[in-house]
Amino acid sequence: MTIPTSNAEAIGAHRARERRRWRTVLLFLALMAASFVLDIATGPSMLSPAEVLRSLTGLGDRAPMTDSIVRSLRLPMALMALVVGAALGAGGAQMQTILNNPMASPYTLGMAAAAGFGAALVLAVGGLGLSAMIAVPLGAFVFSMLAAFFLFMLASMRRMNTETIILGGIALLFLFQSLLSLIQFLSSPELSQQILFWLFGSLTKATWPTLTLTAIVTLVCCIVLMADSWKLAALRMGEMRAASLGVNVRFLRMKVLVIVAIMTATATSFVGVIGFIGLVAPHIARMTVGEDQRYFLPMSVISGALMLSAASVLSKSIIPGALFPVGIVTAIVGVPFLLWLIFAPRKRT
Amino acid sequence: MIEIENLSVKRGGQTIVRGVSTRLEGGRIHAIIGPNGTGKTTLLRAIFGDLPIDKGVVRIENKTISATGRKRLSDWREHIAYMPQDTGADVALTVLEVVVLGRLGKLSLHIDDETLEMAMDRLNQAGIGHLAGRDIASLSGGQRQMVLFAQVLMRQPKVMLLDEPVSALDLKHQVALLDVVRRETRANGWATLVVLHDLNLACQYADNLLVIADGTLKASGPPKQIMTPDLVHETYGIHVEVLHDRRGNPVVQPLGNIHEISSEDEISPANEGMLA
């Protein structure tokens, strides 16, 4: 006969595991903060982290020029990296959760490609009287939401399973990529160059108003997702199991899809297409803190923010003085990192 | 108590369950037996509200679901715990976390000690308390089945629907799980409906057998009354002897296909005997 395990002992072990997970989350938060300071420090005129901190806090002796560089030029970009990374990390995490597939992300399901097409279309045909600053992100947002609406319709059909939704998303990816190529093919070299620049994904487009809007949308969406954390954890155990625990699976899937769509479409429309964050950040979270969503979601958010912030530092460090579009860096660094994640021995708290 | 009236369920345009009517009392185990693909799981899922009902009504206390009335499923499922066949759980959660999920709807962001105590009690009841800190994905199919059963117990239901809960378990754990099912069903007055393939386990543990073939209820009643060689032959198309153990429970002994029975193996007309 099996000897009953002491409840106190098992609960103590569980609490210790919870503390370990919080420590891991805090460690990543500290790394993210360090990367944020480095991101501000890095650029054509290199600053020391101490100068950055003095300028951010307003304490100590500081040159007016440094304050101007830090607060007006680099701070919105560095914060945008954190906010967009967080949005993509959370979006990818919940796409993978609701579709029960580690390959799912707003990027792989065509929402980013749709945003790219929307932006290109506006650049090519004009923004119906609106200025390009407003019309291009709006076009990207509208088409990204259209792609999400298509996925939403698929998810709302009773006989559709997760595989069908993923296939639908991949079809969208190819469709919008082809349409985008068509626009580029028909465009003048100058316009094609403009489209290409938007597609690279760049934080230089960040301004205080776009940053504020993206931050508010991301924060609200993450809070709503967090409220469903137990249901989302149950959904990862399979549709049938989640339903047996009282989860309205179809409603939850559609609700999360809408939230993810709004969050990632907002982020993408202001900075362009940035791949891999949404795919890789949830994997980092899963490997470090597991899939208890109370830790998994914050960890995906922080990992995404850290990754994009670090990519931003890299994009400015490859050739000193030159600024590579961050979207290129995330893809180039993301691929080997993803491979390492796949093949590395697994150990998590 | 579950009342099922003239229940028919279609899947893919085909009627899988046809005109099933029965009353399932609380505090008793009702075992569904029958060949593969005859509608056992469909019946369970329809009662749970997971499949639309084509005709008929299912009533639990004062709530009903029917072809037209299945709008408030969360309300209907409030007191039903359903354990699906599937034991797949490729998720990075510990066993204790999986069992805690059984309290879904009553959980806040912080899991209190009372809930953890309850989950540990359930795991110990199922004899797997020592697995509490393990990853569910690292367990064997049988261990996972025990964990998922502990999760079902966490629901504290009035009706428990178990779809082949012992399919991946060794004999010791089959008995352990069904002992817990019997104890909890009796103690809490739950109406427990369980799909079993092992006729002897069904006869051993069920208070009431429901024999399903071709989507219809062929027979129902206490195992001692209804388990006969003729019933098994009509249902499964095989010949068996039905013996009885010391408590008088039927013990079904397969004899193989009729064409393979030699003249020496011929059995008495009654096809019945007593175990020594």
Which of B11, B82, B101 should one mutate to test binding to chain A, selecting the residue with the greatest count of A CBs within 10 A? B101
pLDDT in the model for residue B262: 53
Check residue A30 and give its pLDDT: 98
Task: Indicate whether A211 pLDDT > 70.
Answer: yes
B86 touches chain A (CB under 8 A): yes
**So what's the pLDDT on residue A216?**
96
Percentage of chain A with pLDDT > 90? 42
Residues in chain A within 8 Å Cβ distance of B135: 290
A11 → closest Cβ in B94, B116, B155: B116
Question: What is the number of domains present in chain B?
Answer: 2
> Which among A226, A241, A246 has the least Cβ separation from residue B74?
A246
In total, the C-beta contacts within 8 angstroms joining chain A to chain B are 105
Residue B214 is classified by DSSP as T
What's the pLDDT at B270? 47
pLDDT-wise least confident of A165-174, A193-202, B136-145: A193-202
Average pLDDT over every residue of A306-313: 94
Rounded to an integer, what distance in angstroms lies between the CA atom of residue B113 and that of residue B90? 27
The 10 Å Cβ neighbour count of residue B175 is 15
Q: Does A158 touch chain B (CB under 8 A)?
A: no
For residue range A227-255, list pLDDT tens digits in order: 999 999 999 988 888 988 888 888 898 89
User: Do B258 and B147 lie in a common domain?
Assistant: no
What are the tens digits of pLDDT across the range A251-287? 898 899 889 988 988 888 888 888 889 989 999 999 9
Q: What is the pLDDT of residue A94?
A: 95
Pick from A14, A234, A221: nearest CA to B105:
A234
Q: What is the pLDDT of residue B272?
A: 47
Partner-chain contact B94 A294, CB within 8 Å: no
Instruction: Point out the domain boundary residue: B186, B201, B227.
Output: B227
Domain identity same for B138 and B270? no
Instruction: Estimate the crossing angle of helix A7-41 against helix A75-98, to 10 degrees.
Output: 140
Alpha helices (H) along chain A: 7-41, 49-57, 64-68, 75-98, 111-125, 132-156, 162-186, 189-200, 208-227, 229-235, 239-244, 249-271, 277-289, 293-317, 326-343
> Does one domain contain both B29 and B64?
yes
A3-7, A86-90, A337-341, B7-11: the lowest-pLDDT one: A3-7
Residues B173 and B246 in one domain: no
- Are residues B182 and B66 part of one domain? yes
Q: Which of B156, B180, B64, B170 is nearest to B105 (CA)?
A: B156
CATH number of the domain at B55, please: 3.40.50.300
CA of B267 vs chain A CAs: smallest distance (Å): 40
The sign of the CA dihedral A257, A260, A263, A265 is: negative
How far apart (Å, rounded) are the C-alpha atoms in residues A239 and A250? 9
Q: If you average pLDDT over residues A144-163, what whole number do you get?
A: 82
B154 lies in the same domain as B241: no
Q: For chain A, which domains are there?
A: 75-343 (1.10.3470.10)
B12 and B61 inside one domain: yes
**Residue-level pLDDT at A347:** 52
B192 within 8 A of B29, measured Cβ to Cβ: yes
Q: Is A102 on the interface with B (CB under 8 A)?
A: no
B32 in reach of chain A (CB within 8 A):
no
pLDDT score recorded for residue B276: 41
What pLDDT is recorded for position A1?
44
CB atoms within 10 A of CB A288: 21
Phi, psi of A45 (to 5 degrees): -105, 110
If asked whether residues B150 and B233 sit together in one domain, one would say no
Shared-domain flag, residues B121 and B53? yes
Residue B89 clears pLDDT 80, i.e. is over it: no
User: Average model confidence (pLDDT) for chain B?
Assistant: 88
Look up the domain containing B257 and give its range: 229-276
- pLDDT for B70 equals 59
Asked if residue B269 and residue B244 are part of one domain, the reply reads yes
Q: Do A238 and B88 touch (CB under 8 A)?
A: yes
For residues B96-107, give the mean pLDDT: 92
Q: Which of residues 247-286 of A touch B (CB under 8 A)?
A: 247-248, 286
Residue B128 shares a structural domain with residue B183: yes
Enclosing H/E stretch for B230: helix B229-236
Residues B104 and A246 sit within 8 Å (Cβ to Cβ)? yes
Which of B259, B203, B198, B246 shows the shortest CA–CA distance to B226?
A: B203
Encoded tokens for A69: 């560089």
Within B155-189, where are the H helices? 171-188
pLDDT in tens, B160-212: 999 999 988 899 889 999 999 999 999 999 999 999 999 999 999 999 999 99
Question: For residues B262 and A63, which has the higher predicted lDDT (pLDDT)?
Answer: A63
ipTM exceeding 0.90, yes/no: no
3-class SS at A263? helix
Strand pairing category for B250-256 and B63-66: unpaired
Interchain CB contact of A10 with B (< 8 Å)? yes
pLDDT at position A152: 82
| A202: confidence class by pLDDT, cuts 50, 70, 90 | confident
Closest B-chain CA to A246: B74
Both B38 and B175 in one domain: the answer is yes
pLDDT above 60: residue A174: yes
CA distances to A108, A137, A306 from A146, rounded to whole Å, are 15, 14, 29
Q: Nearest residue of B to residue A17 by CA position?
A: B133
Q: Which residues of A touch B130 (CB under 8 A)?
A: 2-3, 5
The 10s digit of each residue's pLDDT in B119-130 is: 999 999 888 999
